[in-house]
A and B are shown apart, each in its own frame.
Chain A
Amino acid sequence: MADPDSAQPVVALRGVGKTFGNGTVALDRLDLTVRAGEFLSILGPSGCGKSTALRLIAGLSAPNRGGVELRGSADGAPPGVGFVFQEPTLMPWARVAGNVALPLELAGLPREQAAPRAAQVLARVGLAGFGDAFPRELSGGMKMRVSIARALVTEPSLLLMDEPFAALDEITRFRLNDDLLTLWQTLRKTVIFVTHSVFESVFLSQRVVVMTARPGRILTELTIDAPYPRDESFRTSPEYGAFCRHASQALREAMAMDEPVMEASAMEAAR
């Protein structure tokens, strides 16, 4: 693993502000730098604008203030971006292979060239042989794997994930967390992972950025200084517990800045 400090920034948000049409201030003066190859989590209460930040980075919406810069690793060209949504977001009328090949076909690649690449990336996420299935025939976890395969099929250098495992049961979630880390270590992509789960953010990331809500701003950041590969033994280690305590503490502070009373919801988020 390259030392993250020495690596080039691939994403730089400088003083970014985003106000929606209805007057809601989603983000206010957000500064964030993401280094090449880094696994970064954005942790925050729901409604803190973390998804909005991710959409700004993806170019799906434009900031009202400040700038979003994307830089490719070597030649300065912007990196390819893969996006994984909260829901699997698959086309129900297309087979799994067709869903995964979609980004390539939209770029004009002929079907016969897109198909082998889709099959390849499906095998990588553990779904070899499922290309002919329809999304409805798959479990929630498998659908999410298809969604990840689709994000990876264009071989982007930057992978943006918007609470991808939030709707899954814990067992499935753990397995997908493990597999995501394996993928990250083999493919060496930059990952920005939005979540409201303390445990997930600590387990996965090198760095956790904690955001406050209304307006969305970065409260603090934690470096999770634990070696990879991380597996079940890390998940049960006292070290992991300590990191989680720090992150929960930070998240509680972030929530306290939002609304003074809601103690129950702060505890819920810290759980």
Chain B
Amino acid sequence: MRPAGVDDDVPMTLGARRFWRAALPVLVLILTLAAWDLVVRLNDIPPYVLPGPLLVWRTLVGDWAVLSGSLAVTLATALEGFALALVGGVGLAILFNQSRLLEYALYPYAVILQVTPVVAIAPLLLIYLPQQAAVLACAWLVAFFPVLANTTLGLNSVDHNLLALFRLYHASHWQLLWRLKLPAAMPYILGGVRIAGGLSLIGAVVAEIAAGSAGAGSGLAYRIAESAYRLNIPRMFAALLLLSVAGVVIFFALSWVSHLLLRRWHESALVSDN
């Protein structure tokens, strides 16, 4: 067994490290695409079973008008769900923090909402709500809990000496919240937010899939379902690719925001030399 962190023994300058960090994933991507292409060509696999990467790319470009519109719809749903989850999660966590009784009363139900698979809830929501609202509700439902749980944890993790200090100077409820608890909870909240960003996209997609062909939606997941019925596999791949890229973009955007907010003081965002 090689000890963990054995790579650190290899002497490497900071520049070289950065180069390989960026270059290696790209290399893996190129090799994977080449292998994929080779498998399709050598076995003569028809595009309705497995399209080659070039065909997927051509479909993406060719169907861009349809796909980009669907992407916008799905992204809008995910972002709305995310925004509602952020407001709702942080807001409810603040309420819980102000009133223990409220937390005791409601927290178990927040957990139940979280552990019940959204795939199973989506069809029900689609019965009772208009499709747009149902999809939004799903996006909200999955993204909401990480924000709530992390914010609750953060608000309860405030240094007790700082709390005593605020008490000593007769800080009001608002001062305690704005000047101490929320800033102290910020790293936790942002951790929850980063998870919620990706989950809201998943929630939106799950609901669109559940709505399926019965729905009148035009989101990316709807395109995937529709393409499946029409055996338009290249378009399925193109839509899937767009979803992945959207998820990655959301993740990096939120990581960047988190970094901006924490870079001055929090350990997680400080630049380390090794």
Could you tell me which A residues sit within 8 Å of B by CB distance? 55, 58-60, 81, 83, 85-87, 89, 91-94, 102-103, 105-107, 134-136, 154
B162 contacts A89, CB within 8 Å?
yes
For residues 138 through 191 of chain B, which have their beta carbon under 8 Å from a beta carbon of chain A?
A: 159, 161-162, 164-171, 175, 179-180, 183-184, 186
Complex alpha-carbon distance, A67 and B183, angstroms: 37
B265 contacts A136, CB within 8 Å?
yes
Complex alpha-carbon distance, A135 and B159, angstroms: 15
Cβ contacts under 8 Å, B175 to chain A: 106
A107 contacts B169, CB within 8 Å?
yes
B168 contacts A87, CB within 8 Å?
no
Whether B266 sits at the interface, judged by CB under 8 Å, is yes
Whether B2 sits at the interface, judged by CB under 8 Å, is no
B183 contacts A91, CB within 8 Å?
yes
Known A-B contacts A81-B168, A134-B264; A93 and B186 likewise in contact (beta carbons under 8 Å): yes
Cβ contacts under 8 Å, B165 to chain A: 83, 85, 89, 102
| CB-nearest residue of chain A to B166 | A106
B264 contacts A60, CB within 8 Å?
no
Could you tell me which B residues sit within 8 Å of A by CB distance? 159, 161-162, 164-171, 175, 179-180, 183-184, 186, 264-266, 270
Complex alpha-carbon distance, A91 and B186, angstroms: 13
A134 contacts B265, CB within 8 Å?
yes
B168 contacts A59, CB within 8 Å?
yes
Complex alpha-carbon distance, A171 and B168, angstroms: 31
- 12 additional A-B pairs beyond A91-B162, A91-B180, beta carbons within 8 Å, are A83-B168, A85-B161, A87-B161, A91-B184, A93-B183, A93-B184, A94-B183, A102-B165, A106-B166, A107-B169, A134-B264, A154-B169
Cβ contacts under 8 Å, A92 to chain B: 265-266
A60 contacts B265, CB within 8 Å?
no
A-B complex: 10 closest residue pairs judged by Cβ atoms: A89-B161, A106-B169, A92-B265, A85-B161, A93-B183, A103-B169, A93-B265, A106-B171, A60-B164, A134-B265
Complex alpha-carbon distance, A106 and B270, angstroms: 29
B161 contacts A106, CB within 8 Å?
no
Complex alpha-carbon distance, A85 and B52, angstroms: 66
Known A-B contacts A93-B186, A93-B264; A60 and B162 likewise in contact (beta carbons under 8 Å): no
